[in-house]
Amino acid sequence: MKIWMRKISVILVAIMTLGLYIPPAYVNTNAEESKSADSSKSDFNEEVFTSISNPVGENEMDVTLDHNEPDELSNDDYYIQIMAEKAKEQTITKLGPRIVNHMDEEFMADIYSNMEEVLAAILTEDDSVYYGITERPSKGFGEKIFNVYDVRTNKDIAKFHVRRDKRPLEGYWFNFHYHVSTDGFLEHHEIGEVFWDKNIPPKWMA
C-alpha cells in the first residue's frame, strides 16, 4: 500500500514539475507578441505623424519657377498705363450709358488706343510725374472730357475734348481731339472720329 502511494506521489510530482516549465514558454510567446504589437503601434504612430507633418504629395510638389515670364513694366510704362485707364474711365463717363451702349466697340478701341499714344507722348516730359487727370467731364453739349494738369500749380497741360459734328447726308459724328498749352490751346489735334447715327445723339452723360 505504501509502495502504491509512493508511485502515485512520484507521478503527481512529475506532472506538477512538468507543468511548472510550461508557463515560461507561454510567457516568452506573449512577450514576443507584445513586443511585436508595440513595434507595430510605434510604426503606425510614426506613419501617422509623418503623414500629418508631410501631406501626401507635398514632398513631390513641383515648385520650379517659370523663368520665361514677361518682364515687369517699368515705372514710366506703369504710370502711363494708369493714366490711360483713368482717361478711358473719364471718356466712358463723358459719353454716358446711352451713347456707350450704342457705340461700336472696335471704333472706340481705336479711340482709346490713340488717346493712350497721345498721353504717352505728353507724359514723357520731365515733370510728368506731377501730372494728373481731372474727373469732371462737362455735361449736356460741352466738349470737355478731361484735362491733364500739373498738380503742383493746378495749371492745365493738355485738354481732351469730343465734339458732335453733323454732316449733310451722313448724320452725326463724334470728333475726339485735344489741345496743348504750348500753343495756348488754340490748335485742334486729331485723335479720331466715330459715327453715331443720322438721328440726334443724346446729351453727354445721359
- Greater confidence (76 vs 32) lies with 76
Tens digits of per-residue pLDDT, 147-206? 999 999 999 999 999 999 999 999 999 999 999 999 999 999 999 999 999 999 999 999
Q: Answer whether residue 86 shows pLDDT above 80.
A: yes
- Residue 77 confidence class, pLDDT cut points 50, 70, 90: confident
Question: Backbone dihedral region of 73: left (phi > 0), alpha (psi from -120 to 50 degrees) or beta?
Answer: beta
Beginning with the edge strand found earlier in the chain, give each strand of the sheet holding 144-150 in spatial order: 131-133, 144-150, 155-167, 171-180, 189-197
Give the separation between CA 118 and CA 197, rounded to whole angstroms.
Answer: 27
pLDDT the model gives residue 8: 58
Interval 99-131: pLDDT, tens: 999 988 888 999 999 999 999 999 987 788 899
Q: How many angstroms separate the first and last alpha carbons of the chain?
A: 134
Q: What is the mean pLDDT of the chain?
A: 77
pTM above the 0.75 mark? no
SS3 193: strand
Q: Provide the pLDDT for residue 65.
A: 35
Do the strands 171-180 and 144-150 form a parallel or antiparallel pair, or are they unpaired? unpaired
Q: How is the chain split into domains, by residue range?
A: 1-69, 75-197
Task: Give 53's pLDDT tier (boundaries 50, 70, 90).
Answer: very low
Predicted local distance difference test score (pLDDT) of residue 108 = 92
- Residue 71's pLDDT band (cuts 50, 70, 90): low
